[in-house]
Amino acid sequence: MKNTIKVQRAIKNITQAKLAEIIGVSRQTINAMELGKYVPSTLLALKMASYFEVAVKTLFILEENEEIKQK
């Protein structure tokens, strides 16, 4: 799963540590998400999207091999 967390942080001009504090996780969790090594829970994804005032699908993007196939 790709994400735009780093871009959204740049827009708001906040650090990983500040974002982590705001949403209640560690800075390491934010770093792992940005690197694609950690997939957040639905609640965490919703909190982040709410903070950045974007849709969850703007913040987290399914890669082609992860997308649901339509019949």
Q: 8: pLDDT confidence band, cut at 50, 70 and 90?
A: very high
Q: Mean per-residue pLDDT for 14-31?
A: 98
Q: In this predicted structure, what is the pLDDT of residue 66?
A: 63
Which has more pLDDT, 65 or 2? 2
CA dihedral for 55, 36, 14, 46, sign (positive or negative): positive
Q: Is residue 23 part of a domain?
A: yes
Residue 44 above 80 pLDDT? yes
CATH code at position 55? 1.10.260.40
For range 36-48, the mean pLDDT: 96
**Is residue 64 very low, low, confident or very high in pLDDT (cuts 50, 70, 90)?**
confident
Number of domains in the chain: 1
Domain membership flag for residue 41: yes
Domain that holds residue 58: 2-66
CA distances in angstroms from 9 to 15, 18, 34, 58, 66, listed in the order given: 7, 10, 10, 13, 25
Domain for residue 71, yes or no? no
